[in-house]
Amino acid sequence: MEKKNFAVIGYGGIGSGFHCRRAEKSDVLNLVGIYDVKPERREKARADGVFAYETMEALLSDPKIELVTVATPNNFHKDIVIAALEAGKHVVCEKPAALSSAELEEMIAASERTGKLFTVHQNRRWDTDKLRVADLCRNGRIGRIVSIESRVHGSRGIPGDWRRRKEQGGGMVLDWGVHLIDQAIMIFEGVKVTSVYARLDHITSQEVDDGCHIVLGFENGVFYTVEVGTNNYINLPRFYVRGTAGTAVIDDWNQPLRAVVKRSALEKDALPIRAESGLTKTMAPRDSDTVESFEVPVPESDVHDFYRNFCRAIDGKEPQIVTHEEMRRVMKLMETVFESAGKNQVIHTEI
């Protein structure tokens, strides 16, 4: 495939450090240039050997450019995406695609009107922990899945400046919740979320949430917890999965999946153990001969497949992986998270 001429709007953390750096080594993208509203970021691009347009209009009116990635703070996504689509460019937008379903619908309408493709950068679909949990849910090695807990924990509060501002689309639901919710609906592809209950943290920030605890109830009975913490000095496992026949855990990024499954033929009663100020059989550990364990090592995964797919989609060779319908579902789920947290109620849905 001929490489697509590519430009990035917003030369900040992800625009420079991820999209541009990867494009420089890409087999499908040819980095033409960037635009950033801050002159010092344009200067930085030039120092990095990347062409910087002086205005966004100059970038958008350059007929060479076929594909634009928008990597600005969240509140600018809608207007820039629509301007780029109307300038005849195919557009990748950083997550979250928009601040509301209403904004997202305007963006999708612009894509349909102009006939140019529009998607959102849901790069964490390629995370190896999510890929292995998705496999486990399909292959039945720990039985039928009962619950999943998906957590990311940090301890430094909300980073940066705009992520602390409500009008800029700050807060952790929009920053990390968006990834973990997208992973959840991809692990149970095609299964509706029928209930949402959420509590938000305001430990280091009153203006926006600095963490969230969300329970998604799937139509298949699975309870899926999404937790984002920025004030956690001890991390819980990245994934904890319970099935009817076993339990699996992934302790941290780039760690193996470890699972323990029951050997039903060897089921036997437990002897009571002393547990703190009482005795218990229920919570007694198992004899090692009644269980077996397995590990799934970290598999190969290449997040650049996101751009490979989008470039092939532009050429009409395959459908885009991150679809408008999936973008709508994630946006509606995040809105329902805020509704549930605001009312402190379970919200029943069909999302």
Ligand X SMILES: NC(=O)c1ccc[n+]([C@@H]2O[C@H](COP(=O)([O-])OP(=O)(O)OC[C@H]3O[C@@H](n4cnc5c(N)ncnc54)[C@H](O)[C@@H]3O)[C@@H](O)[C@H]2O)c1
With CB under 6 A as the rule, give the number of residues binding ligand X. Answer: 24
Q: Which residues on adjacent β-strands are paired with residue 246?
A: 261
Q: How far apart are CA 186 and CA 246, in angstroms?
A: 22
Binding window for ligand X (CB under 6 A); candidates: 65-73, 125-133, 272-280, 285-293: 65-73
Contact between 76 and ligand X per CB under 6 A: yes
Could you say which of 1, 13, 109, 281 contacts ligand X (CB under 6 A)?
A: 13
Q: How far apart are CA 141 and CA 131, in angstroms?
A: 15
**Whether the Cβ atoms of residue 283 and residue 275 lie closer than 8 Å to each other:** yes
Contact between 37 and ligand X per CB under 6 A: yes
Could you say which of 123, 150, 205, 309 contacts ligand X (CB under 6 A)?
A: 123
Contact between 103 and ligand X per CB under 6 A: no
Binding window for ligand X (CB under 6 A); candidates: 69-77, 303-311, 316-324, 330-338: 69-77
- Whole-number CA gyration radius for the chain: 23
> For the chain, how long is the longest CA-to-CA vector?
76
Contact between 12 and ligand X per CB under 6 A: yes
Q: What is the Cβ-side half-sphere exposure of residue 43, based on CA atoms within 13 angstroms?
A: 3
Rounded least distance, CB 150 to ligand X, Å:
16
Rounded least distance, CB 346 to ligand X, Å:
28
Q: Give the list of residues 6+ apart from residue 129 with CB closer than 8 angstroms, or none.
A: 238, 239, 250, 253, 255, 257
Contact between 166 and ligand X per CB under 6 A: no
Please say which residue, 121 or 324, places its beta carbon nearer to ligand X: 121
Contact between 10 and ligand X per CB under 6 A: yes
Q: Give the list of residues 6+ apart from residue 63 with CB closer than 8 angstroms, or none.
A: none
The site for ligand X (CB under 6 A) is made up of 9-15, 35-38, 41, 71-74, 76, 94-95, 121, 123, 160, 162, 175
